[in-house]
Structures are given as C-alpha cells and as structure tokens.
Chains A and B, each alone.
Chain A
Amino acid sequence: MTTGQRHPRVPLPYLAMDIFAQQLINGLVLGSIYALVALGYTMVYGILGLINFAHGDITMVGALVSLTILQALAAAGLPAPVLLVIAGGGAMIVCAALGLSIERVAYRPLRRAPRLAPLITAIGVSILLQYSAALIWGKQYIAMPKLLEPAAIEIAGAQLTTLQMTIFLLACAIMAALLWFIKVSRMGRAMRATEQNPDVAGLMGVNTNTVIAFTFVLGSAIGAIAGLMIILYYGIGHYFMGFMLGLKAFTAAVLGGIGNVGGAVLGGLLLGVIESLASGYIGDLSGGVLGSNYRDIFAFLVLVLVLVLRPSGLLGQHSGDRA
C-alpha cells in the first residue's frame, strides 16, 4: 500500500458530503464544457453520419484565438464583460470560417465516397489544425492575463464560483436555444429534413449543401464558445488541448445518443460527473490499486460499455445496425 491512509472497515467509504458536493460541482462544470463541444459532434453526425475528428481542434483554435484577443486587449482597460464578448465574438467568427472551409474543401467532395475516406480526411485535418496552431502559437503553455476575480459562494460546504455557474448555465441556455431553433425556424426544419433523408429533402426543395454548411458553422461557433470557457476556467491554453477534449466530448455525444441535441448535453454532464467522481473515489474504492492516474480511460470505458450495451445511447432512438 502506498498511501498512509487507513481504509475504514465499512463496505462503502464514508461519504463526506462537502467533498461529494464539490466533486459533483466540479463534474457538472467539466461536463458543461464537454456538452458544448459534444453539440458540435452530434449535429454534424446527425446530418452527415460523419464523426468530425477535427472538431476538438476547432475548439482549441477558438480557445487560442480568444486567448490572443484577451492578451492583446488586456492593457486597453475595458471592463471584463466587454472584453469577453469581443474575445468570444472573434473566436466564433474564426471558428465558423474554419468549419465552413473544412466542410467545403475536405468533406464535401467525399460525400459519396466509401466510409473510410472522410474519416481519414478528418484525421488529416485534425493533425493539420494542431500543427498549424503549434506554428502560430508555439508549443508552450500560454497563460491568460488576469481578468476576473470570480466570487465564490458556498453550497453544502463546497465552493461554487460565479464562473462555474456561468459555464453551466451557458451550456443549458445554448442547448435550449438550439432545440428551440431547430423546432421553430425554417432552417431548423430543413436541418431535420436533411437528417432524415438528404436525397428526399433535396427533392423537396431543401438546399442540402447550405444546410450542411450551416450546421458546420453553428457547431464550430458553439465550439468556439466552449474554447473561451476553457480558457477562463483553466487559465491556460495549449496547441494539443483539443485532442483529449474531442475524444471525451464525442464519448459524451454517444452516451447521450448521437444525433440528439438534448442527448449531447445530458451525455456531457453525465460524463463530467462520472469522471470527477471516479477520479475522486476510485483510489479509496479499489484500495489503492487504481488511482486518479487512470482518469482518462474512464471516458473510454464508458464509450465501450455504451456501444456494446446500448449503442443508441440514452436518448437516442434504436436504429438497428450501428453503421
């Protein structure tokens, strides 16, 4: 045994409520970030049946762009909310443009190609984004200039900062807005139609190319917001940060039911909580054999379990062959 702690002789470790509450809060906030990124994955998959491997890296670009804007304007003396809006806006524009171009150049020509091709292209785009970012921003960790002094309140003995609350509420708000948009607007209907059957939708007068392009733009813009949130929350940006984030967000999307907007958010929150609680308690539960160093694979284990046991995810419709 490597730790000096004594394990209680009760079957379940004693749950300190304040620690549990804190882990829960940490998990929900982490999960909100996953949720925001998962939205991008789920929308694109719903419409194209394609896993956009590069989405995590688009989020990374959004994060680094907003970081650069914040660094550039830090001395300007503007109030924090204004800075954030400018940074967020700038990041959204860049990411939307990026998503649009990637769709146009790399994915559209391959729409009728065999399965393997767009997947490999996506991997290629992902690598391109990562190393272009390394070229532009370098490979060092970049720190965010001091901006906010988040106020914290105590809930059940745990600290909850205003920033954490903002991230969580933002995820929910964006989800709600998205659901409303898809339900009510014309473009939303066009998106649903394209998702169900692109060919027939085309016959019915829907410009599928526009719809698909719009989906990418929307997903990327939301990814940019997620990037900004990450920068604010962790204070650090890095060219490689999109990789793990993308994988976990994709897991979240699958967990909730890929193609389902509500599912993406639910899956994200759930995954965040699972990761947080598992990291926090796995050491005690396993008697020190497993520890927090196994954190990254919890997401993958969840992924495998979901795909083997319930491939359609929590909120998805059962659709036979997972092809």
Chain B
Amino acid sequence: MNIAALFSDRRYRWFAWGAVALLLLALPFITEAVLGRSWVRIIAVSLLFVMLALGLNIVVGFAGLLDLGYIAFFAVGAYSYALLASPQFAVHWPFLLLLPLGAAIAAVFGILLGAPTLRLRGDYLAIVTLGFGEIIRVFLNNLNRPVNITNGPQGITLIDPLQMGGFSLAQTHSFAGLTFSPVHNYYFVFLVCAALTVALSLRLQNSRIGRAWVAIRDDELAASAMGINTRNVKLLAFAMGATFGGVAGGLFASFQGFISPESFQLIDSIMVLCMVVLGGMGNVAGVALGAVLLTALPEALRYIGPLQQRWFGGVLVDPADLRMLLFGLALVLMMLLRPEGLWPARRRQAVKRNTDAG
C-alpha cells in the first residue's frame, strides 16, 4: 500500500494525519538537534512563504491572473504592523488588532491595484502589476520626507514582537523540559497560521467563488456569458490574495524586528511566483510544497561555498549567484518539460499540454 492510499483510506486517515501533525510539532526540536538553530529559522520562514504562496495561488492559480507585483501586499502588511508597533510613531498596538488591520489594509490595496487591470489580459496584466509593485516599493523607500512616515531606506527597527500580557514570543521559555527559543515560538505561530491558510484555501477552492475563479481562468467570455460578474470576482481574487499577503507581512515584521524596502523587491515577487508555478499552480498542496522547497534549498545551497573551497580551493561560483542561476534554469525547464508543476492540480492533468487552452 503506498503512502497516498494511507491518507485516503478512512481507517488509517487519522493515524496518518496524526503522525504528520506530530512530526510538524516536533520538527523544530529535531532540526535544531541535527542541523542547528539557523535551520529552525529557515523552516519558520518557509512557513511564512507557504502563506504567501497560497495567497498568490488564489490570484494566479485559481483565477489565472498573472500578478508580478504580489510582494507589494506583503510589504503593505509588514509596514502596517511596523508603523503601529514600533518607536517610529511611538505607538504600540496589540497584535490581535494589528494583524487583522494589516490584512484589511492589504485587501484595500489589492482592490486598488486590481481595479485598473480588469480589462487587461496576460502579458499586460503582468507588466502593470509589476509596475505597481515597483511603485509601492519606491514610495516606501522615499516617504521619509517631507514627513517621515516609513523612515525611507533605513527601514523600521525595534518592531514589537508578538506579545500578550507579559508573555512575549521574543523570549526564551522552558516548558516540559524543552527550550523554546524565540525562533521556536514563532515557528509554532506560523505553523498554526499556515494551517489556517491551507484550510481556507481549500474551502475557497471548493466554493462557488472558487469555481467562478476557475471559470474566469479558463474562459472569461464564457464565464461572463454564464452570468458571473467577472469584475467583482477578479477584484475578490486580488483582495483575498492580498489579505493572505498582508497577514504574512505583519507576522514577518514582528518576527524580524526590522523591515526595510530592500526586502520587498521584484525578485521576491518572482520568487513567490516560482513557488506557485513550480509547485503546481492551483494545487494547494503543491504550492505549499513549492514554498518549502524554494525556501529551504537556497539555504542548503549556501553550503556550496565552503564545499567549493574544499574541493577546488576557491569559490568559483558564488552561492547566491548559483541559486539564481538554478532558479532561472528551473523556470525554463519546468515550462518546457512539466508546466503543470511538480504536483499538479488534478484538473490540470486532464488538460493536455499541447492544446491551446486559455
């Protein structure tokens, strides 16, 4: 019996999922023991990117709208949190208020950025969204004069961590003989949020609105003829995707304690897009997988530097460059060989690669 069958068979499903849950709960401790604490940080961050990728998946995977400026929503969420929980304005609001607020602000931006693109298709949509992403970044970088809002390129430092009462996630706690460093604490918060995001994505996928998105993706004219309000449905896709990004952004800001416009560049938008495309557009599990792989593998590639040192006595290819080269190559190869992604949505598999779909 193969693994997949284990999950679908009703008798064993609970054991299978229970085992997965246990593994995920124990993962930070296992990782720390085997690989060291910096890897715990990496898996925590990869969970953040799972959220981001799932958000973009709504826009690109479900609704078929190629958004190249998605990181702007991540930025908006991060800055909303940072501005209201740091010395920048000397305001320190609680995170329970800030995270939903960040999500709401991001949703508004989603609608604002989506509205002009409604009539555009494919390539133009991509370029315009790219442009919006850049516009947001430039504004974040320059809104420090005449009035200092975002503190410009210096970014916002000393951002409050997630805390409630006296209990702060940025401190190390001990419980049941285990040490919970800040990274561990945040890992668990991200795990919960990522799980919620997955659940939400799956609900959306199987809802009326999810099917409306798929209809628009496959044939907008027909969808419109069938009575779907394409304008609202598209705007909703942008808004929902942006919301996920906004929440992830707020969590990112509290985790890092520092944000600057440097973290929100075009290449980051492209990275998230890679996660969606390579993982399997439209497939929630595939996208999550793509996010984890694409966050963890580049970190693993960093060790190539010392490896090269040992083998060749010098670093021939800088690991950061190597990572980008592999990304580019992966994109091209995936599109040529397996455009439906590593783990395609079942529906996609039914569509042969050579038909002129979309």
- Looking at chain A's contact residues, is the secondary structure mostly helix, strand, loop, or mixed? helix
Do A296 and B328 have beta carbons less than 8 Å apart?
Answer: no
| Pair B132/A50 contact, Cβ less than 8 Å | no
> Shortest distance in angstroms between B282's beta carbon and chain A's nearest beta carbon?
11
6 contacts between A and B (CB under 8 A): A117-B339, A121-B332, A124-B327, A134-B318, A303-B127, A304-B128
Contact across chains for B124 and A124 when beta carbons are under 8 A apart: no
Instruction: Check A128–B66 contact: CB distance below 8 A.
Output: no
Interface residue? A200 (CB, 8 A)? no
Number of A residues contacting the other chain (C-beta, 8 Å)?
52
CA distance A293 to B335 in the complex (A): 37
Q: Which of A120, A250, A321 contacts B273 (CB 8 A)?
A: A120
A124-B327, A131-B324 given. 19 additional CB < 8 A pairs?
A: A50-B123, A106-B332, A116-B277, A116-B339, A117-B339, A120-B331, A128-B328, A128-B329, A130-B324, A289-B146, A291-B142, A296-B134, A296-B138, A297-B135, A301-B131, A304-B132, A308-B119, A311-B120, A322-B121
Contact with B along A121-158 (1 / 0, CB 8 A): 10111111111101100000000000000000000000
A180 within 8 A of B: no
Query: Is A163 interfacial (CB 8 A cutoff)?
Result: no
Number of A-B contacts (CB under 8 A): 144
Choose one: A115, A126, A128, A135; the contact of B122 (CB below 8 Å).
Answer: A115
Within 8 A of A (CB), among B130-165: 130-132, 134-135, 138-139, 141-142, 145-146
Residue B321 at the A interface, CB < 8 A? yes
Instruction: List B residues at the A interface (Cβ < 8 Å).
Output: 60, 64, 66, 116, 119-124, 126-128, 130-132, 134-135, 138-139, 141-142, 145-146, 266, 270, 273, 277, 281, 317-318, 321, 324-325, 327-332, 334-336, 339, 353-358
Specify which chain B residues have a CB less than 8 angstroms from the CB of A304 in the assembled complex.
116, 128, 131-132
Residues of A within 8 A of B273 (CB): 120, 123
Main SS of chain B's interface residues? Answer: helix
**Interfacial chain B residues near A322, Cβ < 8 Å:** 119-121, 124
| Contact B66–A119 (Cβ < 8 Å) | yes
Closest to A45 in B: B123
CA distance A301 to B124 in the complex (A): 14
Decide if B328 touches A126 in the complex (CB within 8 Å).
yes
Residues in A neighbouring B141, C-beta threshold 8 A: 293
In the bound complex, do residue A135 and residue B134 qualify as a contact, i.e. CB atoms below 8 Å apart?
A: no
What B residues does A311 contact at CB under 8 A?
Answer: 119-120, 124
Choose one: B124, B321, B328; the contact of A125 (CB below 8 Å): B328
